[in-house]
Chain A
């Protein structure tokens, strides 16, 4: 192992779902303690804490330290939409890579069970008795629902439909089949919020949220946390044989934002920044998409999963529909995608997601994934995207040690 390589030494996630009796500090503490234990280290070894939480009041990292150990190390409180967890991890990685610290802890936690619809500003307030222009667009009344939609299911529905307009081949049924796959995968994952297999008919017949996304085609709002301990190859050399054996190499760690494209301020462009992040990641890791044994990508909605097959270059440009229909992204296919069940069934506690998907990959690379183990997995990719936008891509490899 090269001294400047980065390794995940310990990693953990809580079960995703409803945790009515736990707050974000409890959840984050549970994940953090388990990650430290998994890595055979303690808070005393940590040089930095990067703490991700989106919906809370702020200062999350300091609250977490008081729950698990206050050693005076710097805390970086991270908030970066749905890429918050990946950003926290990347923050810890950068600190280790810079040589300033030997080990870092990244945590992401969220309480989202029962949160309902996200993103819609709505028209809850009664229109004023006087039309007065307000805000950046000089709007005299709320625009959500009058000029398009601000809701997440509606936004990502359009992302999938735009792909269909460009390349053809999409349909309500196609998107429902993607959801069918992820729900089927979830039945093997005890950490998932939902482990129910749905038939295609059940998915298409469920409550419509934003055509073509029905309820089971939307990510599940739930509670959860995930945490990871990272270190350098130089430090790993000094650790035990067992720690070296289970350490997972971070072959690429990339964070991007959306570069200007026509229409990107009309409908968020989730494509260009993902393709950019993937391009850089494959280059950094020296692997190609065909080398990947499994992929966890950001299927916040069934319509989103389709476009990321293409953005992550798992298929030729414009070939996402054919890629899916070939069976490739099923767990017994050429490139298994979201064998955890994905956000649609595993759940999406926003800030935990970007570390939990890395936990999933690590679990397979360590050969510890039980019933859902992808046999002999050596290389995996984890992807998240948050609107605004931010994209995190990590490529992980089984330790050679």
Chain B
């Protein structure tokens, strides 16, 4: 397994040496973006540096999606996680998708899972947040 080739679901998920999310941070005002920017949306400066996002956080908003577009398995918990001051979008995983198990303010940590392996033996790795 450790020798299998892996690819992240999105490029801002870095898998080695350990899974973490990496943002482009504006060197001027500190605003963070998970995709590319020509200029910072906050201060218009143009210098960015990659920064690791903390892998633990607090759930600050969520919904339990019961009705989704075709092909999306439901129910699932979509949430916004405050990771040390940086808001991250992700699903709450490895717990029942019910209001009894998911609550505002709950502590979470980054977790990864396999999306499957393609014809060339490459395994795609997704991420979510699980109860910490």
Which positions in A face B, CB cutoff 8 Å?
117, 120-125, 127-131, 133, 136-151, 153-155, 157-159, 161-162, 164-166, 172, 207-213, 260, 262-263, 265-267
Residues in A whose Cβ lies below 8 Å from that of B60: 162, 165-166
Contact between A164 and B69, CB atoms less than 8 A apart: no
CB distance from B58 to the nearest CB of A (A): 9
Residues in A whose Cβ lies below 8 Å from that of B105: 165
Contact between A129 and B62, CB atoms less than 8 A apart: no
CB distance from A323 to the nearest CB of B (A): 20
A327 to B115, CA, bound (A): 49
Contact between B80 and A162, CB atoms less than 8 A apart: yes
CB distance from A53 to the nearest CB of B (A): 23
Contact between B119 and A129, CB atoms less than 8 A apart: yes
Q: Is B88 an interface residue (CB 8 A)?
A: yes
A213 to B8, CA, bound (A): 32
Which positions in B face A, CB cutoff 8 Å?
7-12, 31-36, 41-42, 59-74, 76, 78-80, 85-91, 99, 104-105, 115-116, 118-120, 122, 124, 126-127
Main secondary structure of the interface of A (DSSP, over half): loop
Contact between A210 and B67, CB atoms less than 8 A apart: yes
Given contacts A143-B10, A151-B69, contact A172 B61 (CB under 8 A): no
Contact between A137 and B35, CB atoms less than 8 A apart: yes
Q: Across the two chains, which residue of chain B brings its CB closest to A166?
A: B60
Residues in A whose Cβ lies below 8 Å from that of B33: 265
- Residue contacts A-B, CB under 8 angstroms, 22 given: A120-B72, A123-B69, A124-B69, A124-B71, A127-B116, A136-B35, A146-B91, A147-B9, A147-B126, A148-B91, A149-B76, A158-B63, A159-B61, A162-B60, A162-B61, A165-B59, A210-B66, A211-B99, A212-B63, A262-B32, A262-B87, A265-B33
CB distance from A78 to the nearest CB of B (A): 24
A128 to B61, CA, bound (A): 32
Contact between B124 and A145, CB atoms less than 8 A apart: no
Scoring B36, B89, B90 by chain A CB atoms within 10 A of each residue's CB, the highest score goes to B89
Contact between B31 and A262, CB atoms less than 8 A apart: yes
Residues in B whose Cβ lies below 8 Å from that of A142: 71
Contact between A137 and B80, CB atoms less than 8 A apart: no
Residues in B whose Cβ lies below 8 Å from that of A146: 9, 91, 115, 126
Q: Which of A128, A131, A210 contacts B63 (CB 8 A)?
A: A210
Residues in B whose Cβ lies below 8 Å from that of A139: 9-11
